[in-house]
Amino acid sequence: MIVLDGLTKSFGDKRVLEGLSLEVPDGKNTVIIGYSGSGKSVTLKLVVGLLEPDAGRVLVDGDVVQEMDREELAVLRGRIGYVFQFAALFDSMTVAGNIRLGLVRRGYDEDAIRERTHESLAVVGLSGTEDRFPAELSGGMRKRVGIARAVALRPRYILYDEPTTGLDPVTAAVMDQLMTRTRDLGVTGLVVTHDMRSAFTVGDRIAMLYQGAIRQAGTVEQIRATEDPVVRQFIEGRPPADLRPVARRAPA
Amino acid sequence: MSPLVASRIAARDGLVTLIGHRSLETARAVADVRTWAPLLLGHMRRLGVDSVPITLFIAVFTGIVLSLLSSYIFTGAVPIYFVGALVGKTVMMELGPVLTGMGLAGRVGASIAAELGTMKVTEQVDALETLAYNRYAYLVVPRVLAAILMFPVVTAFAMAVGVAAGWATSVNVLDLSTPQFLKGLKLFYHFKDIWFGLVKSASFGGAVALMGCLQGLAATSGAEGVGKSTTRAVVLGCEAILVLDAFWALVLL
């Protein structure tokens, strides 16, 4: 289980997280929703130790991430897959090269690496793209390779950073399917997104991050039925009152 | 102290702290041989072998100018065969290593900073960390070691070509014969001239690659940030070469 406990994080004068606490239960997809710039991606980076919180801590399977040294962090990262917002594929390597990098690190032999590479590309529906470079792939394909790279390591957890942002509706639905399928394989997912259709599709639990803390967390049904005005406005995608179209004046 | 001066000093202080901290991380990452060793040969080829043409270009023109300049200085005052002495000493001890270092600070330092900077702003460096790699062991150590090993090799070529260009110019443009040039070349020659230049160039290689790596990893804010990091890497690399040049002259001469 992943536990976020009172996380606070600032960048210069801008306070991004202010006492964020959340539990991510095993075997389920937990979705963090929130406005752009609300600190969702920062939260994911705190989970894998890519950023240090100013206060608070992250526990993964009971171990405090912030107390780990480099070697312990490497072991932790072996249990966590990370799918980046823009895929973050190594553009000097082929698709297969991207996937094999993590496997080489874990000491797999060449046969096992080849098998895992084929298997993980098949899971995301990209068999046959092994020798292509990231620049030759569409945005959706790159994101799927990002998932394949994470899945190949058979992690216990996968963190998804805006997995459907910038994708066409069909490709976004494919991504949703992949996240659900991965959950069904027993992998715990932590997804950050502001795509409500995706959140309702893949999420078992949804938490809204607002002004640096969790405004509300609950099951999909609870969030759909919420009476909290901030959460309601976000999930319905309603603009603030002062930005709504003004009534047209009658011609003079 | 004016706020502007104070902020500049703070920025410079922050830069020194940053470079110090990251250099320490790099030194620690040398122990992770399993990560950097397989990458070393590839970087040696990219940083060293691929840099030979630009280095030779610089060396040829350095040799030509030195022989013409020394002829201009010596004519009427010193025997003309001293041209060989000046070309040899200067190319081997100073201009060979320093001009090669400066040339490679532009080529190697900029290319490292741009590559790593792009990786940083596109989250490829973070992706590397999430795959349980140490960014310093994977990205910095092999490049710095490759530069330390290959700069002296490239500089040795530059020394040979620079002296050869000086000889060719002396024989063809000046009224100097080959025996006269060689007489001058041998006149003050010591083996130390060569190893002094090569030791310097190894340190220049380390500094140029380290600045490129650290500035690349410090890149922020997209293409503009990568551009700034690249410029800073070249400037700091050249500054480091001049400082190290003075250091070695004080220590070894």
Sign of CA dihedral B42, B45, B47, B50: negative
Q: How far is residue B132's CA from residue B109's CA, in Å, rounded to a whole number?
A: 27
**How large is the average pLDDT for residues A224-247?**
81
> Are A197 and A147 in the same domain?
no
> Are A132 and A181 in the same domain?
no
Interface test with B, best of A11, A47, A51, A84 (most B CBs within 10 A): A84
**pLDDT per residue over B190-212, tens digit each?**
899 899 999 999 999 999 999 99
Instruction: Name which of B168, B169, B191 is nearest B93 in CA terms.
Output: B191
A248 lies in a domain? no
**pLDDT per residue over B75-91, tens digit each?**
877 888 888 999 999 99
The mean of the pLDDT values for chain B is 89
Element at A55 (helix H, strand E)? strand A55-60
A230 lies in a domain? yes
**pLDDT per residue over B132-164, tens digit each?**
999 999 999 999 999 999 999 999 999 999 999
Categorize the per-residue pLDDT at B238 as very low, low, confident or very high, splitting at 50, 70 and 90: very high
> Are A142 and A190 in the same domain?
no
Q: pLDDT value at position B74?
A: 83
A167 lies in a domain? no
B127 closest CB neighbour out of A70, A75, A84? A84
**pLDDT per residue over B96-129, tens digit each?**
999 999 999 999 999 999 999 999 999 999 999 9
Instruction: State percent of chain B over pLDDT 90.
Output: 70
Predicted TM-score (pTM) of the model is 0.85
**How large is the average pLDDT for residues B211-229?**
91
A66 lies in a domain? yes
Helices (H), chain A: 40-47, 70-77, 95-105, 110-123, 139-151, 169-184, 196-202, 220-224, 229-236
A57 lies in a domain? yes
> Are A106 and A149 in the same domain?
yes
Q: pLDDT value at position A171?
A: 84
**pLDDT per residue over A52-101, tens digit each?**
999 999 999 999 999 998 889 988 998 999 999 888 999 999 999 999 99
> Are A127 and A179 in the same domain?
no
Give, in degrees to the nearest 5, the angle at Cα A26 between A143 and A212: 70
Q: pLDDT value at position B211?
A: 94
Residue B222 has pLDDT above 90, yes or no: no
Categorize the per-residue pLDDT at B23 as very low, low, confident or very high, splitting at 50, 70 and 90: confident
> Are A25 and A75 in the same domain?
yes
> Are A50 and A99 in the same domain?
no
Contact B48, B152 (CB under 8 A): no
A136 to chain B, closest Cα gap in Å = 17
Q: How far is residue A229's CA from residue A210's CA, in Å, rounded to a whole number?
A: 12
Residue of chain B whose alpha carbon sits nearest to that of A69: B134
Give, in degrees to the nearest 5, the angle at Cα B91 between B87 and B94: 125
Contact A203, A30 (CB under 8 A): yes
A102 lies in a domain? yes
A48 closest CB neighbour out of B122, B123, B130? B130
**Residue A175: other Cβ atoms inside 10 A:** 24
Residue with tokens 């070529």: B157
> Are A1 and A75 in the same domain?
yes
Contact A232, A222 (CB under 8 A): no
Instruction: Name which of A206, A148, A207 is nearest A181 in CA terms.
Output: A148
Residue A246 has pLDDT above 80, yes or no: no
In the numeric block, which tokens belong to residue B214? 């650290």
Instruction: Name which of B163, B158, B146 is nearest B206 in CA terms.
Output: B146
Asked if A78 is an interface residue toward chain B (Cβ–Cβ < 8 A), one would say: yes
**How large is the average pLDDT for residues A32-44?**
92
Q: How far is residue B99's CA from residue B86's CA, in Å, rounded to a whole number?
A: 16
Asked if A11 is an interface residue toward chain B (Cβ–Cβ < 8 A), one would say: no
> Are A207 and A148 in the same domain?
no
Categorize the per-residue pLDDT at A3 as very low, low, confident or very high, splitting at 50, 70 and 90: very high
Categorize the per-residue pLDDT at B1 as very low, low, confident or very high, splitting at 50, 70 and 90: very low
Q: How many CB pairs under 8 A join A and B?
A: 51
Contact A174, A144 (CB under 8 A): yes
Q: pLDDT value at position B247?
A: 95
- CATH code for position A44: 3.40.50.300
Instruction: Name which of A23, A48, A35, A14 is nearest A160 in CA terms.
Output: A48
A161 lies in a domain? no
Interface test with B, best of A71, A101, A103, A159 (most B CBs within 10 A): A101
| Boundary (domain end) residue, out of A125, A154, A183 | A154
Task: Please list, in sequence order, all residues whose beta carbon lies within 8 angstroms of the beta carbon of residue A92, skipping any fewer than 6 positions away.
Answer: none
Residue B145, CB-side half-sphere exposure with 13 Å CA sphere: 20
> From edge to edge, which strands make up the β-sheet containing A2-11?
A14-24, A2-11, A55-60, A63-64
Structural domains of chain A, count: 2
> Are A101 and A67 in the same domain?
no
A121 lies in a domain? yes
Residue A45 has pLDDT above 90, yes or no: yes
Burial of B30 (0-12, 13-18, 19+ CB in 10 A): middle
Crossing angle (nearest 10°) for helices B3-29 and B141-172: 100
> Are A3 and A64 in the same domain?
yes
Q: How far is residue A58's CA from residue A67's CA, in Å, rounded to a whole number?
A: 10
> Are A126 and A109 in the same domain?
yes
The mean of the pLDDT values for chain A is 91
Asked if A86 is an interface residue toward chain B (Cβ–Cβ < 8 A), one would say: yes
Asked if B129 is an interface residue toward chain A (Cβ–Cβ < 8 A), one would say: yes
Structural domain range at position A102 = 88-154
The SS3 of residue A81 is strand
Asked if A134 is an interface residue toward chain B (Cβ–Cβ < 8 A), one would say: no
Instruction: Name which of B130, B157, B216 is nearest A48 in CA terms.
Output: B130
Task: Please list, in sequence order, all residues whose beta carbon lies within 8 angstroms of the beta carbon of residue A110, skipping any fewer than 6 positions away.
Answer: none
Residue A251 has pLDDT above 70, yes or no: no
Q: How far is residue A146's CA from residue A135's CA, in Å, rounded to a whole number?
A: 14
Asked if A51 is an interface residue toward chain B (Cβ–Cβ < 8 A), one would say: no
Give, in degrees to the nearest 5, the angle at Cα B129 between A117 and A159: 70
**pLDDT per residue over A185-214, tens digit each?**
899 999 999 899 999 999 999 999 999 999
